[in-house]
Structure 1
Amino acid sequence: MDITQVITKYRRYLLVQPPMMLLLFALSISATVFTDLIVHRTCLVTLGINETECLILHNNSSSAEALRINQIVQPYTSFILTSKSFIESTWPSCLSLFLGQWSDKYGRKPLLISGYLGIFLTYFLLSVLSAWNISPWYLLIAYIPTAFLGGLSILMLGSICYITDITDNDERGWHLAWLDASINFGLLFGFLIGPKIFEMYGYSTVFSIATVSCSIAVLYIFLIPETIQSSNSGIYNIFDLTIVKNLINTCIKKREGFDRLLIWNCIACLTFLLIIIEGNLSIEYLFTSARLGWTVKEFSIYISINIVVGIFGMILGTKFFHNYLGFPEAIVAVISLISAAGAILVYAFTWKSWHMYLSLMIGIFSEMCRPMIRAILSKAVPSQDTGKVFSLATFIETLLPFVATSLYTYLYAHYMPPLYPVPVWFLSVVFYIMTIIILIYIQKRLVKSEVSHVSPLLEPNDSFTYNSL
């Protein structure tokens, strides 16, 4: 029996979403704490500053002395975080070229299991390494399992393909938005709980809780049904070079009903958005610490409120603009990007804490854009080619964190507070404007042509059966 026939509608919310929420809980409970750990170890071990001065960054972070120490420590910290991004992006980007199309034939669950297992091992190692007063460079060893097994990029690839398998064109945009909402719920809980646990028990306990959360996610993912049925595991065919050849042919070969330009424009939009997201994440805590004197606790409270506003804005905005008013996905995404660009402009001119909270209200709809663009992309390709196209998108997206982190941390380290306004935020605005222009073009192209019915690109060995609605 086709597995999609037995997955009732309410169950579609309980398959890939709960483990993703657990994973993002683990990431958020530890993200700011990990950055703080790098700052502290850099101050204490790498630069040899005494413990009393390093603790000023925790105990009196808004003082002139803390600003002086930050100006010494943060450039080194930025370089370590850039190296971490390099580890997490290079090998997973290569894997994504193979695993998307491979999962079209052999199943989505192996991708999900691999990704969750790698991140579990990373947090297990961090819970051990953080207990030792060692150089911050040794902490990067923990990210090798995540990189080797694919990490978050492969998880997102598998999750998006999984949702595409069990939904039709009309409901896919909503389910992709709900996946993002689940991610934000996990982020919210983590940012709320993380600082309190850190204050009470320290670094190792935070990473240990993240390890437990990931272990539950690994067990959960074993229980969900597979959407692609195959007679063998295909483990020996993962690195078949014909997969890459077929992937490239799928995305560049001209065929009736296949709008290549539309596909590439959607990928370009996702690319720019990921650059912004990764770039902002790499400097946001450093910026608020240097400009406003925020500690881990204050920053986590802000992020938690940001997530709540983002979830509310995404669900309300998607229902109102897309479902109620009937705006197409591209127009909803443009509205979202205008909201996001306004919020980033407030960042650039921030000098008071309440300015950061003003940015939340201006950027209330900023979370709608990515699920809308993914919905456009999923509708533009046949189900047989879903993994291939999303593989290419994931390959490009996975390489970007390193590029984005390098670019943003370089600009920030050279033009950081007390400089006013901070120039790095204007870079994000430029990327938003470029994305808006592309989306306007996409909408005009969609009006002119129908992309719902596409001719699949058949290959000699495409004899397997796809299970999709």
Structure 2
Amino acid sequence: MDDLSVMTEIENHHLENGSAVRSMVQNTPRKFHLTMEVPMCLTMLSLSLTGMAMTGMMLVVYSTMNDLGPWWLIVTAVPYSLTGGMIILFTGAFCYVSDVTSPENRSLRMTILGASVSAGSVLGGLFSAHLLRAVGNVYLLLIGASLNVFAYAFTNIFLRESLEGAIQGRLGTLLDWSLVKQMARECFKKRPNFGRAQILLLTVANSLTIFILYGSMNLEYLYTREKLRWALKDYTLYSALSTTISFAGGFLGIIVVQKLLKIGDLAFVNVAYLSMIVEYVVKALAVSTWHMYLSSTISLFKGLSSPLLRSLLTKILPISDIAKVFALMSAIEGLCPLLSPLLYNSLYECTISTFPAAFYMLSIGIVCVSCTFIGLVQYFRRNVSTPYERLQDSPTIA
């Protein structure tokens, strides 16, 4: 299913959103000094992986006990929910990448991180059904839980805190409400040269991509089954190939196209958005199987929008505000799974007998809004002296 590409971008997308919780950072030649206790990247990674591992093990236990009712299944999700799940994992991961990379290679590193998620999604989608038939439900869940435990162990053994000289916060720091208020204050305060508007426009533009993914990922299979008479096997193959194309397009775009043609991050983001528009038009008008594959080829660079926007934010924001803006982005993206299916499913239900591709038209409209937002940011930054001149931190200028 197209959950593959979703996990990619989400994540590639959902992920990049740093903790709302690093503040008062002073950038010295090779050190970062924090003047207050904060939850670090590794704390966030470890906490989310702990919740995933606990939920995985509880699912294994639940699957072996046939006398437990369905309500006990909800209990297994409690550790995952309380520790933040994938949003906190992605937030910590992208914050970590932002800390340990230079501005020159940050876009590539973030693309690699997103591509790793894509690779895992593709492999999981291709092999999970075969594993289920080979070993059964219980052992499949046990494999998943074991992988989460391995990820937790790897994080704590091999990774080191990314900010040298940082004061490690306590576990309670993660629940400190004052840090949430500080995040909101920093994200919405006035900055010179429409800095606040730039931050919000980039954040919303990125979140709208996630909104589209969550809304359309379950409908695309229904659409292809209705219009092209695809079976689930056909759609799974298409989804895996589409994700692989996006995977390859990310590397090709960053390593070859952007460096050779000297295209800036914002301009390349609009290229990605325009390719998405063409993709949705082709899918809406598709009458044959090859049209769907053509659409995926056309949108070769669509997976770059999220990594490039996040990379741009790390380059133009003051060091102390990067994680706060990433946290705001995560909070907005966390609402997408709740809101977008309501809109998309309702639209599909109303148009399935007349024009089942209507949800693609909705996606085109949303992408056009994102293009407009990126264009406004380009206009606001037309007079900057360097391509990635940082936004200033003056609260007195609108």
Q: Is this a same-fold pair by TM over 0.5?
A: yes
**Matched residue SS, 1:433:** helix
DSSP-derived class of the 1:227 partner: coil
In 2, the alpha carbon distance for the partners of 1:262 and 1:255 equals 10
Which residue pairs with 2:142 in the alignment? Answer: 208
In 2, the alpha carbon distance for the partners of 1:405 and 1:436 equals 22
AA in 1 matched with 2:346: Y
What is the correspondence of 1:207-226 to structure 2 with a 5 Å cutoff? 207-223=141-157, 224-226=159-161
Other-structure match for 2:249: 313
Does the 8 Å contact 1:97/1:244 carry over to 2? no
- For 1:446 and 1:185, how far apart are their aligned partners in 2? 35
Structure-2 change in CA distance of 1:255 and 1:440 (3 Å): closer
Q: Provide the rounded CA distance (Å) in 1 between the counterparts of 2:290 and 2:136.
A: 29
In the aligned structure 1, how far is the partner of 2:242 from the partner of 2:42? 32
Match of 1:159 among 88, 93, 98: 93
Equivalent pairs, count: 368
Question: Measured at CA, do residues 342 and 141 of structure 1 come closer, stay the same or move farther in structure 2, by a change above 3 Å?
Answer: farther
In angstroms, what is the RMSD of aligned CA positions?
3.2
Query: Does structure 1 residue 440 correspond to structure 2 residue 348?
Result: no
Change (3 A) 1:166 1:408: same
Correspondence 1:272-311 to 2 at 5 A: 272-311=208-247
Q: Does 1:350 align with 2:286?
A: yes
**2:37–2:167 Cα contact (<8 Å) kept:** no
Give the structure 1 partner of residue 362 of structure 2: 427
Of 143-152 and 229-238, more deviation after overlay is shown by 229-238
1:197 correspondence with 2:131: yes
Describe the superposition over 1:115-139 as per-residue Cα deviations: whole angstroms up to 9, x where unpaired: 2222333344444556759998875
Distance (Å, rounded) in 2 between the aligned partners of 1:174 and 1:320: 11
Aligned to 2:260: 324
The alignment status of 1:114 with 2:47, answered yes or no, reads: yes
Unaligned stretches of 5+ in structure 1? 1-26, 32-88, 459-469
Q: Determine if contact 1:98/1:239 at 8 Å carries over to the other structure.
A: no
Deviation at 1:334, TM superposition (A): 0.8
**Distance verdict in 2 for CA 1:311–1:104, change over 3 Å:** farther
Q: 1:152, CA displacement in angstroms? A: 1.0
Supply the distance in 2 between the matched residues of 1:374 and 1:231 (Cα, whole angstroms): 25
Alpha carbons of 1:136 and 1:420: their partners in 2 closer, same or farther (altered >3 Å)?
farther
**C-alpha separation in 1, matches of 2:214 and 2:169:** 34
Residues 286/137 of structure 1: CA separation in 2 closer, same or farther (3 Å cut):
farther
Other structure's SS at 2:218 match: helix
SS of the aligned residue for 1:287 comes to helix
Q: Measure the CA separation in 1 of the matches of 2:112 and 2:359.
A: 31
* Aligned CA distance change for structure 1 residues 415 and 333 (closer, same or farther; 3 Å): same
Task: Quote the Cα distance in structure 2 between the aligned partners of 1:270 and 1:352.
Answer: 31
Deviation at residue 182 of structure 1 after TM alignment: 1.3
Offset, 1:173: 1.4
CA contact (8 A) 1:191 1:303 kept: no
- Residue type of the alignment partner of 1:150: G
**1:316-358: per-residue Cα shift (whole Å, max 9, x none)?**
1222332111011011111111112222223323344333222
Q: Which residue number in structure 2 is paired with residue 12 of structure 1?
A: none
Aligned to 1:175: 109
Measured after TM superposition, the shift of residue 420 of structure 1 is 3.6
Return the alpha-carbon distance in structure 2 between the equivalents of residues 100 and 281 of structure 1.
34
- Inter-partner Cα distance in structure 2 for 1:286 and 1:126: 29
Cα gap change, 1:352/1:324 in structure 2, threshold over 3 Å: closer, same or farther? same
Equivalent residue, structure 2, for 1:415: 351
Give 1:160 deviation, angstroms: 1.4
Query: Helix, strand or coil: the match of 2:317?
Result: coil
Pair 348,142 (structure 1): closer, same or farther in 2 beyond 3 Å: farther
Which position in structure 1 is the counterpart of 2:162?
227
Asked if the contact 1:381–1:454 (Cα under 8 Å) also holds between the matched residues in 2, the reply is yes
Measure how far apart 1:212 and its partner are. Answer: 2.3
Q: Could you tell me how far 1:431 is from its partner in structure 2?
A: 0.8
What amino acid is aligned across from residue 52 of structure 2 in structure 1?
A: I
Q: 1:339 aligns with which of 275, 279, 295?
A: 275
Query: What residue in structure 1 maps to residue 26 of structure 2?
Result: none
* TM-score, with length taken from structure 1: 0.70
**1:146 aligned to 80, 86, 105, which one?**
80
2-structure distance, mates of 1:272, 1:254: 23
Contact 1:380 1:452 in 2 (8 A): yes
Counterpart of 1:428, as a letter, is S
AA in 2 matched with 1:453: R
Q: Decide whether the 8 Å contact of 2:18 with 2:94 is kept in 1.
A: no
Alpha-carbon spacing, 1:367–1:232, altered in 2? closer, same or farther (3 Å): closer
Structure 2: which amino acid aligns with 1:360?
Answer: S
TM-score of the superposed pair, with normalisation by structure 2:
0.81
Give the distance between the partners of 2:20 and 2:127, measured in 1 at CA.
Answer: 37
Kindly provide the CA deviation profile for residues 345-404 of structure 1, in whole angstroms up to 9, marking residues without a partner as x: 233233443332222112211111111111121112111221111111111111222111
Taking a change above 3 Å as real, the CA distance of residues 236 and 148 of structure 1, as seen in their structure-2 partners, is: closer
| Partners of 2:20 and 2:323 within 8 A in 1 | no
Q: 1-side partners of 2:120 and 2:380: how far apart?
A: 36
Equivalent position SS for 2:115? helix
Q: Which is helix-richer, 1 or 2?
A: 1
Q: Given the superposition, is the C-alpha separation of residues 398 and 104 from structure 1 closer, same or farther in structure 2, using an over 3 Å criterion? A: farther
Q: Which residue is 2:389 aligned to?
A: 452
Kindly tell me: are residues 219 and 225 of structure 1, through their superposed partners in 2, closer, same or farther at Cα, counting changes over 3 Å? same
Structure 2, unmatched stretches of 5+, are 8-13, 24-33
